[in-house]
């Protein structure tokens, strides 16, 4: 029997960077015959006409069948790549992710490519000029250039092999030498891509620096993890300073010895030159880092090196999870609990969770390292879905810091500092040590209030207060960036009695300068750290070891190693205790533990003082007198009782509208659709429409429906069916709406 579609031209099914949940069919460009078309591999880029525009998309598959009428099919303009840019393994991951997070595949696929590739640039690294002999040059009789020894030796050099211009210069040949031979048509130049030294080096030359001698726990951990053998999710649960990085390095070493690559994901604020340097200095191999300082060209080169196996180690923030790496042997997610692994707009994926999926698909180990596991990860480890490895001791013999609560409820504070804390600070500074003061609030004061009528300065576009930035004489919204001049009088009653309430880092800095006039105060927050090397140079000041007060927000909370800090002060530990977000307590405990972990990391013992109005609160008490681990288990038990993640799965459908009533109307319509479907998905609970935690943001009112369930599958099915129905609603395009699976 002849198949029905025999004789029809094959089509290219293409993912395009558009917000539609579908692929697009095109005919092949006219210069390809059917056979050539069918041989095209998924993952190549294709340039196609789309409306009045030309778009660069990614080939998903070729097919003999299509739903599009033959006269509606347009030919693609060009195939941009000879070989797939996105290997099949990565295509599989991205398609899995777009199914799971209900995001348009083409859009996600294109967004994982470096900008230049999205714009249709050739997939080539930078080129350099090379020189080789021409046929005339090759055929020149020996001794022909006897009277010009320099030219003769250049010719002899190229006789062996072509050379790059840079190499010839290094060998002492001038541009003039080269030109002379070129003018005689003896040599010619050509462009060649710059190649990084190929990743796997000789085993004997692999290490640039000897590894540390591991303690027993580290040794056990390294021994448990076998790169590239089979899927193995590992929670590396190690207290701050326990030497997790050394474990990563030695596992990576195993991978490199097997000619495999390693992918290291770090939180946004963790991708510092020091972090990169720790990996670079250990190995004689090409380490690429995707940091914000790269320009588009450098980013493309790094990406291509990874994808050609010319980079052995790739370090990056969440989007690096989509780096093509043909010989990937291990994935490491450092500080896995960090919120920055979750993308909060557009394609809302969790890089940590996708690291697990990628490792599973590629049958390799994945290490989630942290001192403060997220409850999701801890739960998986306790359920024995993950190998749970612990490092309970600080490496290098440093002692864990002594932690003390200071009850500020009945105590008179001096600009946010208790007398006891100021005393302890001055003692440490006198002894020549450094003090770290943590305050997770930048700006001068979080609230501006009128003493006469109670007016409070709110953001025009968000349901949030604006922060006073006194030096700049501004009120600023930290959510949407809106700013306006500090008003001289109350806009409501005209009173001039405007008060600053609460403390931000700028205000604390002011006090500390008065109090400790001879001490260097190093403030590190997003306002003080601007420009490429600002953080670097501030950190260098800290590392000079001079007595100093290091004052900062969460930018200093994680990852850094400050050997001379002996006292860590947490000015206000109350933020998360009564938070409306059910993750508030977890996040607070993680932050306190991480900040406290900056104390006494070297020879000098450390001390931590935590100020709180609720010093007796069970969360703080458990954390201080017991451990993060104990508290985390208690919080897990609570979540189980109440029925919250990780015991139930969540998804949110959020609508954003300028008129709050519209959002509610739209979500009511969606609920009706759900009621039509829900019989099939009885196990899914739906709540809402309710306002989001922050109802108004950047002038959009946010309303949401919350889905919860004990099983992922019915929720996924419901969402798939629901999204189809919503898109079929006549006015669904009028609204901004999005689905967030496993929201944080």
The packing angle between helices 618-625 and 628-642, to 10°, is 140
Minimum CB separation from ligand ADP for residue 371, in Å? 6
> From Zn ion, ligand ADP, none, which one binds at residue 609 (CB under 5 to 8 Å depending on kind)?
none
Decide which of ligand ADP, Zn ion, none touches 459; Cβ closer than 5 to 8 Å per partner kind: Zn ion
Three-state DSSP at 417 gives strand
Q: Is 561 a residue that touches ligand ADP (CB under 6 A)?
A: yes
Q: Which of 5, 492, 499, 727 binds Zn ion (CB under 5 A)?
A: 492
Q: Report in angstroms how near the CB of residue 663 gets to Zn ion at its nearest.
A: 18
Quick check: 241 binds ligand ADP (CB under 6 A)?
Answer: yes
Q: Which is nearer to ligand ADP, 212 or 706 (CB)?
A: 212
Question: Which of Zn ion, ligand ADP, none does residue 561 bind to, with CB < 5 to 8 Å depending on kind?
Answer: ligand ADP
Q: Applying CB under 6 A, does 673 fall inside the site for ligand ADP? A: no
The partner in contact with residue 461, picked from ligand ADP, Zn ion, none with C-beta cut-offs of 5 to 8 angstroms by kind, is Zn ion
The site string for Zn ion over 405-444 (x = CB under 5 A, - otherwise) reads ----------------------------------------
Of the residues 135, 210, 213, 530, which one makes contact with ligand ADP according to CB under 6 A: 213
Residue 307 partner contact from ligand ADP, Zn ion, none using kind-dependent CB cut-offs of 5 to 8 Å: none
Least gap, CB of 231 to ligand ADP (angstroms): 25
Which DSSP state fits 613? T
Phi, psi of 386 (to 5 degrees): -115, 150
Binding of residue 246 to ligand ADP (CB under 6 A): yes
By CB under 6 A, tell whether 111 contacts ligand ADP: no
Cβ-based neighbours of 312, under 8 Å, separated by 6 or more: 199, 200, 256, 261, 262, 283, 285, 286, 287
User: What is the number of the residue whose Cβ is closest to ligand ADP?
Assistant: 243
Q: E strands, 239-346, where?
A: 261-265, 287-290, 313-316, 328-334
Stretch near Zn ion under the rule CB under 5 A, chosen from 99-107, 334-342, 447-455, 639-647:
447-455
Rounded-to-integer distance, Cα 483 and Cα 442, Å: 15
Q: Which among 712, 710, 690, 711 has a CA at the least distance from the CA of 702?
A: 690
Q: Does 390 bind ligand ADP (CB under 6 A)?
A: no
Touching Zn ion, residues 233-292 (CB under 5 A): none
Spatial contact of 450 and 457, defined as CB atoms under 8 Å apart:
no
The smaller minimum CB distance to Zn ion, of residues 162 and 691, is found at: 691
Q: Which partner from the list ligand ADP, Zn ion, none does 480 bind, CB cut-off 5 to 8 Å by kind?
A: Zn ion
- By beta-carbon proximity to Zn ion, the closer residue of 666 and 701 is 701
Between helix 244-257 and helix 273-282 the angle, nearest 10°, is 40
498 binds Zn ion (CB under 5 A): no
Among 148, 214, 294, 721, binds ligand ADP (CB under 6 A): 214
C-beta separation of 465 from 447 below 8 A = yes
Assess 212 for contact with ligand ADP (CB under 6 A). yes
Contact 595, 551 (CB under 8 A): no
Q: Which stretch binds ligand ADP (CB under 6 A): 206-214, 342-350, 466-474, 730-738?
A: 206-214
Contact call for residue 449 and Zn ion (CB under 5 A): no
User: Alpha-carbon distance 484 to 466, whole Å?
Assistant: 9
Selected binder of Zn ion within 59, 93, 459, 652 (CB under 5 A): 459
Q: What is the 3-state secondary structure (H, E, C) of 143-173?
A: CCCCCCHHHHHHHHHHHHCCEEHHHHHHCCC
Tell me the Cα Rg of the chain.
30
Question: Does residue 215 belong to the site contacting ligand ADP (CB under 6 A)?
Answer: yes
Any contact of residue 704 with ligand ADP (CB under 6 A)? no
Please tell me whether residue 370 binds ligand ADP under the rule CB under 6 A. Answer: no
Q: Which of 243, 365, 443, 446 binds ligand ADP (CB under 6 A)?
A: 243
Residue 278: how many CA atoms within 13 Å on its side-chain side?
21
Chain length of the chain = 744
| Bond before 689 cis per omega within 30 degrees | yes
Q: Does 453 bind Zn ion (CB under 5 A)?
A: yes
> What HEC string does 507-566 produce?
HHHHHHHHHCCCCEEEEECCCCCCCCCHHHHHHHHHHCCCCEEEEECHHHCCCCCCCCEE
Q: Which does 450 bind (CB under 5 to 8 A by kind): Zn ion, ligand ADP, none?
A: Zn ion
In the complex, least distance from residue 115 CB atom to ligand ADP, rounded to whole angstroms:
32
- Given the complex with ligand ADP, which of 102 and 282 has the nearer CB atom? 282
250 binds ligand ADP (CB under 6 A): no
Q: 571: Cβ–Cβ under 8 A, 6 or more apart, which residues? A: 416, 417, 437, 438, 439, 503, 508, 611
Considering the complex, what minimum distance in angstroms separates the CB of residue 308 from ligand ADP? 30
Residue 399 interacting with ligand ADP (CB under 6 A): no
The site partner of 396 among Zn ion, ligand ADP, none (C-beta below 5 to 8 Å per kind) is: ligand ADP
Of 164-172, 239-247, 345-353, 659-667, the window that binds ligand ADP (rule: CB under 6 A) is 239-247
Say how far apart CA 471 and CA 337 lie, in whole Å: 35
**495: contact with Zn ion by CB under 5 A:** yes
Round to whole Å and give the CA distance between 625 and 591.
16
> Do the Cβ atoms of 312 and 261 come closer than 8 Å?
yes
Burial letters 91-110, b for 16+ CB under 10 A, else e: bbbbbebbebbbbbbbbbbb
The continuous run of DSSP H or E covering 106 comes out as: helix 105-111
Nearest to ligand ADP of 105, 594 (CB atom)? 594
- Binding-site ranges for ligand ADP (CB under 6 A): 212-215, 218, 238, 240-246, 395-396, 561
- Binding-site ranges for Zn ion (CB under 5 A): 450, 452-453, 455, 459, 461-462, 477, 479-480, 482, 490, 492-493, 495
């Amino acid at each position: 029997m002849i198949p029905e579609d025999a004789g029809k031209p094959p089509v290219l099914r293409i993912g395009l960077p558009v917000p539609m949940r579908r692929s697009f069919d095109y005919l092949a460009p006219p210069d390809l015959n059917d056979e050539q078309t069918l041989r095209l591999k998924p993952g190549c880029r294709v340039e196609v006409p789309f409306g009045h525009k030309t778009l660069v998309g990614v080939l998903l598959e070729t097919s003999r069948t299509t739903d599009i009428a033959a006269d509606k099919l347009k030919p693609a303009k060009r195939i941009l790549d000879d070989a797939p840019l996105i290997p099949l393994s990565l295509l599989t991951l991205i398609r899995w992710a777009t199914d799971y997070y209900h995001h348009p595949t083409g859009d996600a696929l294109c967004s994982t490519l470096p900008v230049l590739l999205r714009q249709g640039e050739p997939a080539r690294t930078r080129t350099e000029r090379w020189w080789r002999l021409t046929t005339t040059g090759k055929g020149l009789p020996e001794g022909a250039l006897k009277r010009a020894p320099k030219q003769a030796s250049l010719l002899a050099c190229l006789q062996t092999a072509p050379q790059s211009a840079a190499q010839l210069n290094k060998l002492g040949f001038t541009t003039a030498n080269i030109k002379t031979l070129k003018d005689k048509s003896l040599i010619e130049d050509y462009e060649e891509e710059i190649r990084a030294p190929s990743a796997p080096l000789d085993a004997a030359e692999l290490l640039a620096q000897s590894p540390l001698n591991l303690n027993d726990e580290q040794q056990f951990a390294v021994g448990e993890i076998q790169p590239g053998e089979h899927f193995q999710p590992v929670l590396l649960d190690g207290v701050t300073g326990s030497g997790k990085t050394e474990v990563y390095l030695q596992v990576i070493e195993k991978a490199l010895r097997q000619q495999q690559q390693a992918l290291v994901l770090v939180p946004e604020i963790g991708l510092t030159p020091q972090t990169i340097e720790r990996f670079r200095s250990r190995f004689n191999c090409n380490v690429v880092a995707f940091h914000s300082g790269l320009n588009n060209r450098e980013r493309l080169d790094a990406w291509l090196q990874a994808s050609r196996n010319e980079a052995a180690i790739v370090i990056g923030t969440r989007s690096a999870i989509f780096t093509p790496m043909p010989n990937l042997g291990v994935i490491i997610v450092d500080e896995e609990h960090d919120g920055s692994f979750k993308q909060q707009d557009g394609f809302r994926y969790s890089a940590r969770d996708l690291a697990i999926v990628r490792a599973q698909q590629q049958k390799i180990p994945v290490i989630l390292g942290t001192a403060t596991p997220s409850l999701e990860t801890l739960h998986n480890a306790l359920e024995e879905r993950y190998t749970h490895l612990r490092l309970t001791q600080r490496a290098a013999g440093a002692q864990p810091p002594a932690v003390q609560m200071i009850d500020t409820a009945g105590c008179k504070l001096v600009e946010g500092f208790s007398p006891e804390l100021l005393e302890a600070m001055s003692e440490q500074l006198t002894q020549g040590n450094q003090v770290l003061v943590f305050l997770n609030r930048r700006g001068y004061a979080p609230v501006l209030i009128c003493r006469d009528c109670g007016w409070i300065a709110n953001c025009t576009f968000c349901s949030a207060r604006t922060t006073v930035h006194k030096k700049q004489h501004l009120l600023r919204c930290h959510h949407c960036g809106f700013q306006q001049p500090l008003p001289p009088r109350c806009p409501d009653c005209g009173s001039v009695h405007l008060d600053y309430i609460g403390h931000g880092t700028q205000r604390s800095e002011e006090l500390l300068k008065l109090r400790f006039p001879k001490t260097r105060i190093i403030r590190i927050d997003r306002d003080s750290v601007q420009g490429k090397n600002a953080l670097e140079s501030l950190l260098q000041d800290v590392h000079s070891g001079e007595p100093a007060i290091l004052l900062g927000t969460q930018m200093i909370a994680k990852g850094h190693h400050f050997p001379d800090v002996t006292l860590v002060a947490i000015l206000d530990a109350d933020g998360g205790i009564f938070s409306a977000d059910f993750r508030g307590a977890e996040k607070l405990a993680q932050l306190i533990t991480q900040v406290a972990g900056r104390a006494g990391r070297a020879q000098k013992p450390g001390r931590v003082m935590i100020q709180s109005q609720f010093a007796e609160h069970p969360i703080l008490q458990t954390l201080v007198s017991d451990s993060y681990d104990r508290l985390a288990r208690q919080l897990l038990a609570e979540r189980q009782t109440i029925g919250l993640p990780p015991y139930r799965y969540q998804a949110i459908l959020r609508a954003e509208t300028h008129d709050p009533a519209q959002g509610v109307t739209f979500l009511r319509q969606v609920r009706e659709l759900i009621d039509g479907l829900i019989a099939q998905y009885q196990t899914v609970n739906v709540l809402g429409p309710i306002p989001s935690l922050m109802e108004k943001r950047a002038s959009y009112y946010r309303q949401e429906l919350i889905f919860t369930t004990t099983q992922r599958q019915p929720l996924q099915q419901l969402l798939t069916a629901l999204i189809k129905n919503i898109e079929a609603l006549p006015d669904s395009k009028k609204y901004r709406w999005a689905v967030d699976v496993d929201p944080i």
